[in-house]
Amino acid sequence: MKFPRYSALLRTLLIPLALASAAAVLAWMEGDWPLYSMFVVICYLLGLQMQRNEQLLRFNQEQDLAIKEARRKHDEEKLRTALLSSVSHDLKTPLVTMLGAATSLRDLRQDLNESDRAELLDSIISETQRLESYIQNLLDMTRLGHGKLSLSRSWVSVSEIYNVVSKRILRQFPEQNLLFEMPADLPPLHVHAALIEQGWFNGLENACKAGGPTGTVLVQASTEVDDSVAIHMNDMPMINIRICDQGPGLPASEWDLVFDQFYTFSQGDRYEKGTGLGLSICRSIFRVHGGEAKIVPPQPGYNHCLLLRLPALDKDKLMGKPASYYV
């Protein structure tokens, strides 16, 4: 049977008790009882101070967990807001375009040549793909519910998520050249797979649009221990996913601005058409999982790089940890 409260108390008193015992032996050998009394008082005061230090450390740990929990709730609310804004802001745009193109094909069929009809059909297909993206955001929104965000986590490999994301991307950019690099020993992720897929897709879609339909986009996955992150993540390594494109890039002064909501086209997301919420949603999704999304210096041969980070959780040590442990 374990008594954690009493064991902590014994740990704080262990050194004072050891010193008091040594003082007793020394006083007995020398016959100097005033010296013994002085050592007892000093050891008693030392024990009190160590106990206070233990309590202060415990208080600081509880405060740290509270701050992490508050940050998680803030990111949850930001994610809800971003997804809702993404749907409500531009949901009508693809519908209006599709309706106009379909109406033209029906009413003006005799007056349109083959090239005009193909252009209208391409417009319908393009807007359908945009609508699919917005509906996906709406589905992600409904998964969040109306109360506390509950992430239905499961173990999934990085390659599995990439395969799903790359298939979605290639449907939208069939000529895109995607390069994927991943070490064989990369640990699995413990995440809400659908949300991480959408966040990754948003980042990769942004890179494809920035680099052009026939450009090369490099996706690199790796593990790394960052000192600043290791402290926050309880000394856990991070899984890094770098998405590098050959687009025009951005000045360093705008690297953080791209994650603001509605920071659009030729500025942040550089979307040809869109809400300017793709990267904002991406960052919120990864932060809710205890990770991060940020712009970093690109790899040689590329002009822009998005870094996505997630904690590399140990499956054997996962059981019994509170939710705030992973934030």
User: Given a cut of 60, is residue 75 above it in pLDDT?
Assistant: yes
% residues pLDDT > 70 (the chain): 63
Q: So what's the pLDDT on residue 203? A: 92
SS3 260: coil
Residue 162 pLDDT class (50, 70, 90 cuts): very high
Residue 271 pLDDT class (50, 70, 90 cuts): very low
Q: So what's the pLDDT on residue 147? A: 46
List the single range of 88-102, 171-185, 195-209, 283-297 with lowest mean pLDDT.
88-102
Q: Average pLDDT in the 79-91 region? A: 61
Q: Alpha helices of the chain — where are they, by DSSP H?
A: 4-30, 33-90, 92-107, 114-144, 158-172, 193-211, 227-232, 278-288
User: Given a cut of 80, is residue 41 above it in pLDDT?
Assistant: no
User: Given a cut of 70, is residue 144 above it in pLDDT?
Assistant: no
Q: Which range, 49-63, 71-85, 174-188, 281-295, is most confident?
A: 174-188
pLDDT: which is higher, 310 or 64? 310
Please say whether the dihedral angle defined by the alpha carbons of residues 154, 313, 149 and 132, taken in this order, is positive or negative: negative
Is the pTM higher than 0.75? The answer reads no
pLDDT: which is higher, 293 or 257? 293
pLDDT: which is higher, 85 or 297? 297
Q: So what's the pLDDT on residue 309? A: 94
pLDDT tens digits, 180-232 = 999 988 999 998 887 888 889 989 988 998 888 778 999 999 998 654 443 34
SS3 99: helix
Q: Average pLDDT in the 268-272 region? A: 42
Q: Average pLDDT in the 91-95 region? A: 69
State the DSSP H helix or E strand holding residue 255, giving kind and residue range, or none if neither.
Answer: none
CA distances from 299 to 176, 184, 242, 284, 307 (A): 19, 21, 9, 25, 11
Residues 6 or more apart whose CB falls under 8 angstroms from that of 203 comprise 243, 278, 279, 282, 293, 306, 308
Residue 151 pLDDT class (50, 70, 90 cuts): low
User: Given a cut of 90, is residue 3 above it in pLDDT?
Assistant: no
Q: So what's the pLDDT on residue 229? A: 41
Q: What is the dihedral of CA 79, 308, 163, 208, to 10 degrees?
A: 90
Q: So what's the pLDDT on residue 215? A: 83
Residue 86 pLDDT class (50, 70, 90 cuts): low
Q: So what's the pLDDT on residue 122? A: 87
| Tokens of residue 118, six digits | 């193909």
User: Given a cut of 80, is residue 22 above it in pLDDT?
Assistant: no
